[in-house]
Amino acid sequence: MTLLLFIVAAYLLGSLSFAVIVSRAMRLPDPRSFGSGNPGATNVLRTGHKAAAALTLLGDALKGWVAVVLARMLAPQFGLPEESVLLCALAVFIGHLFPVFFRFKGGKGVATALGVLLGLNPWLGLACLATWLFIARVFRISSLAALITAVLAPVYSGLLTGWGSTTIAVSVIALLLFYRHKSNLIKLISGQEGRIGIRS
């Protein structure tokens, strides 16, 4: 029962869509109503409000990190196994993708995945962040950077943490990222994918 409460709490935390929350607070258009329609930092950036995009990125990443770190801190006190941390990591990420507070229509999970990875292993998170920044800087395409990073994340995890349960969880996150980016894959192949910083 305690483990279930941990998982539900992580999911509810993940369901907080900061793209929508920040946009409402700053009286900006709903990010689901323009551009890619994705409630994420990249789409918020299309409004030209860099501060709003930065807050969205920070909020979505922070909730992933908080869920993992709190689970790691509290799990031993409740006699929960180490795997409970990984289940909470998956729960907060799934909450972002399918948020109960926003009719299960969430973001694509890049920032939240980063927060989760930083919580699981700081070096793993930093390796993925460096990969995303490099690809994004070279090609100026957020989705391409996310997809390449998703491919490499399980490899980084295996090298840094071993090829056990953590890497399996990271692989699940990577697969979910690919699933949420399926429309971007089509646009990338057809050469129609939008570039970072360009308003729709």
- Residue 164 CB: number of other CB atoms within 10 A? 10
* Distances, alpha carbon 193 to alpha carbons 98, 183, 187, 198, in Å: 23, 9, 5, 11
pLDDT at 1: 81
pLDDT at 30: 83
* Run means of pLDDT, 10 residues per run, the chain, 200 residues: 95 96 89 80 81 94 98 95 96 97 92 98 98 94 94 98 97 97 91 68
pLDDT at 198: 57
pLDDT at 98: 96
- Residue 113 CB: number of other CB atoms within 10 A? 30
pLDDT at 197: 54
pLDDT at 27: 87
Phi-psi sector, 64: left (phi>0), alpha (psi -120 to 50), beta: alpha
